[in-house]
Amino acid sequence: MKTKITELFGIEHPIIQGGMHFVGFAELAAAVSNAGGLGIITGLTQGNPENLAKEIRRCREMTNKPFGVNLTFLPSVTPPDYPGYIKSIVDGGVKIVETAGNNPQKWLPTLKEAGIRVIHKCTSVRHSLKAESIGCDAVSVDGFECGGHPGEDDVPNFILLPRAAEELKIPFVASGGMADGRSLVAALSLGADGMNMGTRFMATKEAPIHEHVKQALVAASELDTRLVMRPLRNTERVLKNAAVDRLLEKEKALGARIKFEDILPEVAGVYPRIMKQGEMDAGAWSCGMVAGLIRDVPTVKELIDRTMREAETIINQRLSRLAAA
């Protein structure tokens, strides 16, 4: 299946793995790339530029296919060593970067000079147009269904994707609610050139996270996510658990008076405890509504092959029959 995204990134299938915190390590990225998609290492998860350089080298030992690095630009008075991370990316020969968070414009000249193609994560058409205007090569359009930060507009993909298609000249992928061949065909029909899967790739054999997390995703329904940090205008979609219940009670009790410091026990430093140790109630962790479509924990190759078979069947059989009728 050839699309603008497969041609842009030199991949076989128009499927990108999301850059997820404490999930996007070399094992998963290499497995996705080897299966024909685009694997992504999560830069800030590595902790420092030196560790990112090691993870890039480790990924190169596992695959000779294209893979990328996610770099999230956080609003902070003490920001991470972004110049160091970018140097590790450039020195490591990585040619694809997924940016997220704040506007990446400041860093684009260095990335472009190194021949790196940039795809920026956006939750609105206006942000997508801004990414296009500053020189991003593609965007990942994240609908309200997505895990992590869906923005504050609450527009689902059935509206957001066709709106993006009406406005954008650069290619884009659909993110949020993407799980299988049905998702891919729907995304393509709405104007996207591929899809980004995050939560779905967590429930794979190669995802380097605790089995408790994978089984929680299999057990979850589409009703089991919650939106937290809305009063702080830093909305995050997470899987419901005891910590999330506590967080929401604090938001309800404090209302507009709530500060980030009030919810630190539920959100600060919890990812290693959840993803590595399997402490499922340790804190809030990002999860998309797509959990309701997760039924198993296949290998990455099994998932991608199955997705492409499903997509081809829908296109060649169901849609062809409808057209013939």
* Strand partners for 228: 236
* Residue closest to 253 by CA, chosen among 268, 239, 263: 263
- What is the C-alpha separation between 197 and 180, in angstroms, rounded? 9
Q: With cut-offs at 50, 70 and 90, classify the pLDDT of residue 75.
A: confident
* Strand partners for 70: 42, 98
Residue 184: the pLDDT is: 98
- What is the C-alpha separation between 175 and 135, in angstroms, rounded? 21
> DSSP 3-state assignment of 173?
strand
Q: Quick one: CA torsion of 286, 204, 5, 7, rounded to 10 degrees?
A: 150
For the chain, the structural domain boundaries read 4-208
Return the beta strands (E) in the chain as ranges.
15-17, 39-42, 67-73, 96-101, 117-122, 138-142, 172-175, 195-197, 225-228, 236-239
* CATH (residue range 4-208): 3.20.20.70
* Strand partners for 304: none
10 Å Cβ neighbour count for 137?
22
Q: Are 124 and 151 in contact (CB under 8 A)?
A: yes
- What is the C-alpha separation between 122 and 19, in angstroms, rounded? 14
* Rounded average pLDDT over 58-81: 95
- What is the C-alpha separation between 24 and 271, in angstroms, rounded? 12
Residue 311 has pLDDT above 80, yes or no: yes
* Rounded average pLDDT over 161-168: 98
Residue 299 has pLDDT above 90, yes or no: yes
Residue 320: the pLDDT is: 77
Q: Quick one: CA torsion of 314, 303, 94, 132, rounded to 10 degrees?
A: 40
Residue 77: the pLDDT is: 78
* Rounded average pLDDT over 112-135: 98
User: Percent of the chain scored above 70 by pLDDT?
Assistant: 99
DSSP 190: T
Q: Residue 312: is it exposed, middle or buried by C-beta count within 10 angstroms (0-12/13-18/19+)?
A: middle
Q: Are 294 and 179 in contact (CB under 8 A)?
A: yes
DSSP 166: H
Q: With cut-offs at 50, 70 and 90, classify the pLDDT of residue 99.
A: very high
- State the pTM of this model: 0.96
Tokens of 111: 């990335």
Alpha helices in 168-319 (DSSP H): 181-189, 199-202, 211-219, 242-254, 264-267, 271, 300-313
Residue 130: the pLDDT is: 98
Residue 325: the pLDDT is: 61
Q: Which pLDDT tens digit goes with each residue over 244-268?
A: 999 999 999 999 999 999 999 999 9
10 Å Cβ neighbour count for 69?
28
Residue 323 has pLDDT above 80, yes or no: no
* Rounded average pLDDT over 171-198: 98
Average predicted confidence (pLDDT) for the chain: 97
Block residue for tokens 């998309």: 288
Tokens of 7: 């041609």
